[in-house]
Amino acid sequence: MGIGAGDLDKRITFLRNVDVRGETSRREEFVPASKAWAAVRYVSDAEKFSAAQTKVSAVLRFTIRRRSDVTHNWRIQFEGQDYRIVGIKPLLADTSFLEITAGNV
C-alpha cells in the first residue's frame, strides 16, 4: 500500500540547531529551518518512572516527500511539541518519500 499526496495532511516545522554564544557561555538553540506536509502516526507511548517522577515518552513516525537537507541533529515541531529525530530512512514502498522517527524532547 503506497502513500499519496492526500495522506500528507499535517503541517510540521523542521528546527535546525545553531550555537548561540554569550559573553561567557555557549548554548545550542533550535530555530525554524523549513516547513513540510507530513503523514503522522503515533508509534508507541511509554511511561517511565524515575525517582518518584513520571515521564511520558511519545514516539511518532513522520512521512514526508524525500529531501536531502534533514539531519539527525534537527528536530520536528508538531502541534506545539518538539520531537528529536532518531531515525531517517526512505519509505520502503516508495523511495520518493522519507520516514522519520522522532521522540518528544
54-101 confidence digits (pLDDT tens):
454 789 999 999 999 999 999 999 999 999 999 999 988 888 999 999
Domain ranges for the chain, please list them. Answer: 5-104
Distance CA 60, CA 102 (A): 5
Kindly calculate the radius of gyration of the chain based on its CA atoms and give it in whole angstroms.
16
Per DSSP, what are the bridge partners of residue 18?
29
Query: Of the ranges 17-21, 38-42, 49-53, 96-100, which one carries the lowest mean pLDDT score?
Result: 49-53
Closest alpha carbon to 36 in 76, 6, 2, 72: 76
* Overall pTM surpassing 0.85 (yes/no): no
Closest alpha carbon to 79 in 60, 63, 92: 60
Question: What are phi and psi for residue 101, nearest 5 degrees?
Answer: -100, 135
5-104 has CATH 2.40.10.270 classification = yes
Confidence band (pLDDT; 50, 70, 90) for 51?
very low
Give Cβ neighbours of residue 24 (< 8 Å, ≥ 6 apart).
none
